[in-house]
A and B are shown apart, each in its own frame.
Chain A
């Protein structure tokens, strides 16, 4: 099994891996999940820079600890290097990035072009998001596009990949072989319908799901139980998101200012009571990873450590969720 995950490269690490029957993409992330391993993913913050070295340096922090790296697409409606470019750079040296596509900035013409371009540059995974509104970011005066929404985007990816055509019907010479995913937030109203929204995304073509920050384990467990009962955990790989909080103050700011972030009071109290809040935040994150791993129907965990990226590898190691497995990383 490990041979399959650590395939010796013929030319260079950026070359596509050999096709495996039953797999959609050539990518390593799909292989890890389909092999039944508990997968770990994380997020890279695309730099405010035109320097590729900065992208490599940020990715290197996760070496040996994660199976795939999400490249955010103007997260929080703030402008950064494009996710397509970050993913192309990372794919080229062998990493397994997940291309996040937000519907906020591009219409269906631009998005479909990006999907083809990204696949041509070796990108194997894509995450369909509706995206935050422009008012949340540093260019509040920009025009919000929202031509598609996340589910329409999943339909688009699936159509291009499986039917080898654009949404207009025009034929594609080579279809983009992308492993498609989307996100879910189990904690915001209408909480009882969130599992139905999850089902809708899976019906639309999501093969993996990464969730918003999960700090409220009972709510997550309740949704996962319903998802398992509905057979959704067999249809898609579900990776709940966990995060690390730098301090009680940060946690409070996050939950009041960032849309969709739900942090229970108990977590804030625990941080407030800690002598070293940052270390306590990381301890909480490690515990959450361990707790997530025990939930039935879960295929992995998505670690979000904005501005604490350098601690991700350490936290993953400490949690033991990989059970000694070392994810692929470039040889330096």
Chain B
């Protein structure tokens, strides 16, 4: 069986969104031969759906902004659970990463004096988001894509081959990270078009696969978001952290049903849109939590004045961090003050002239017009929470993006954990991709270059095992021991419903226990997921393989959520409604129960994931000094403050 095609590269990047492409550019510029593998066509990654902007304290619109303020906002947004060194690097380096994009041809919206314009967003003290209307993600992905093409053009001039130093393997899926002992030795993948298997041998692998939203029924995420990178890392022996923290974006479309979950950008609120309930009340004023009390307006008048005079007024509560707004909407609906289709109203039509709406929010205007027959310049939108982002992810070293315990494995972007703590601020994702994508590419290249004489080999046995695993769905019917073959689409729908209903925005102990039982049942049934047809571009087969990843990741979320008996950021427990300062220092690490990475023994009761709590490093004193003592006492325990 080991007649699988093999190629050698220095660095393999899995994923071609913002983080993956930025990593690939960096690795190639530092001299590493770099391959990128992505499930979709080059340039279609989920990053294109990011709308609002890239957070970077350039101070173009408000000169008071600087990295310290951005750092503070990020920690507040994450409720101080953030891996603080990541938040520090992120705040310091984001402006350089944005300016660099301009030198690659990006065209951001401008200020009157010709600089990059910056807009307001939830949780950011000053206008901070570099943007292009409401299609910033598209601009980001296109700029990185075109930069890659320009590097390929350089290589073509020198070597006669566009792909001699940087190649994109598009529409290919990685199913296993390969290892030699402890060290990474490459990846095993299949080509979606032909179903053909291949191996890329490389000492460095960067995982940049994004998130896990497709395990939930209502989500803003695309089909690619099946938690592949999270699962690949687990299977390779690297731990995941903070998986209980899942961000529900407060404003997704809710009507008609077929578009439920599609994102409505936060820029709608940043630019002046307000949330109202069925009684016409701006309810967010009732939901400002204690930790944010002094920072948000108490009256509509003050909130409205803030847009023009932010130095003398406090910001509107519609711009609280996303977790707060999502919970508030959830409560309003539950109290019976929701909109006809079970959400609340988000209105720009009474707040700005139609022509301003069309100019500042063109994709939103288009999206509602085309998909819901709603003219947002004339009537309010109906919105509700949608699963949007996972704060948890692969545990990484802050400076190098290296995954813990697996030499040669790196991770950046949404798939990496720690940066955003318990809740991510809008706009901090695109900057995260750039800052840590670059760092991952840099250190992956450096690590590979240090191993020129001693490259880890790829053993045939691992390749054979990976091939057998990938072919399993075709023989599911033949080896039925426990029942008939299962339809992968049905299994996926049941998984999404389970996570949505039982491990969703508001969580309860009993429901999560129920979810774990259901996941165990699905796991056993997924072993019998069978497919029709052959290996050539077969979506049923692809889904059957993705199910392994979604089930692993869902179990991580459910187990960690059950364990954390407090509410913080993207983890809300009805049975433990308040934030507990003692939990702040604790990260929950998820590891595979069977360290060999084999999934054969799927004990339905014990599950596949083991949890271990870990105390985090104390925040560096000079960073703590950026906050007032009165604020710190809300988050830190007495002994931490004393230290």
The reply to whether chain A is a binding partner of chain B is no
Interface residues of A (CB under 8 A from B): none
Interface residues of B (CB under 8 A from A): none
